[in-house]
Amino acid sequence: MADRKFIVGGNWKMNGSRESIDGIIQFLKQGPLNESTEVVVGPPFVYLSYVKENLPDKVSIAAQNCYYASKGAFTGEISAEMAVDIGCEWVILGHSERRNVFGETDEIIGKKVAHALTSGLKVIACIGELLSEREEGRTFDVLSRQIKAIADNISDWSKVVIAYEPVWAIGTGKTATPQQAQQVHLQLRNWLKEHISDSVAASCRIMYGGSVNAGNCKDLAVQPDVDGFLVGGASLKPDFVQIVNARM
């Protein structure tokens, strides 16, 4: 665990209304949230300003995506600069849904990471394998390819968190066992050690994502190379507070 600060992110995906978001803001304000854990939430773009204005100060906001150009004729996209302008500190890039539903390639994700960092955003960079890839024994081949495309575009590792999200465990109710998660996180840390540096390997936080809930978060949080969670559906519910407090 070293001295890496635990981080929990809530990816709201395409969910929410002002009414439901008011409820989320209320339970985040009530908490209590572990002071030793960094908390980030990623609302849909149209609610970013509203959430920023109403959230407790100790909770940061993330855009769920951004393009790799500052401005231009890109209908439907937002830029990293726009996200910074309204108070975002983070952006989530490379999420499996961006890869597998919207067809984003490793190359596109790498370009997005590079641009977001130069624009002043910190990045939650997502990687993960499909069920078929895991069953074929190709988990780490896939992850190595994905993380290399991201690493090649990183100018400042202190502003990047890696999120390992096995695609077969996202929204399915299936979760990697604590041992499976730890095994992959350790492999990722060793990859960083071999290909980047000992210091980056020691300091880079690696989050786990994939059906994390109040029932399994504590067992996952004690694994030495699990430095936090990226949470989907459970981040819309009061149970998210328990997940934030998994290390209390």
Domain count along the chain: 1
Residues marked as catalytic: 95, 165
Under the banding of pLDDT at 50, 70 and 90, the label for residue 221 is very high
Helix, strand and coil content of the chain, in percent to the nearest 5, comes to 45, 15, 40
**DSSP at 69:** S
138/64 Cα distance (integer angstroms): 28
84-133, pLDDT tens digit by residue? Answer: 999 999 999 999 999 999 999 999 999 999 999 999 999 999 999 998 99
**Is residue 50 a part of any domain in this protein?**
yes
Domain that holds residue 41: 7-244
- CATH code, domain with 81: 3.20.20.70
pLDDT at 1: 54
- As a residue count, the chain comes to 248
107-120, pLDDT tens digit by residue? Answer: 999 999 999 999 99
- Whether the full predicted model's pTM is greater than 0.85, yes or no, is yes
Look at residue 171 and tell me whether its pLDDT is greater than 70. Answer: yes
Strand pairing report for 160-164 and 38-42? unpaired
**Is residue 2 a part of any domain in this protein?**
no
CA distances from 63 to 35, 66, 123, 247 (A): 23, 7, 10, 26
pLDDT at 173: 78
What residues pair up with 10 in beta bridges, in sequence order? 41, 231
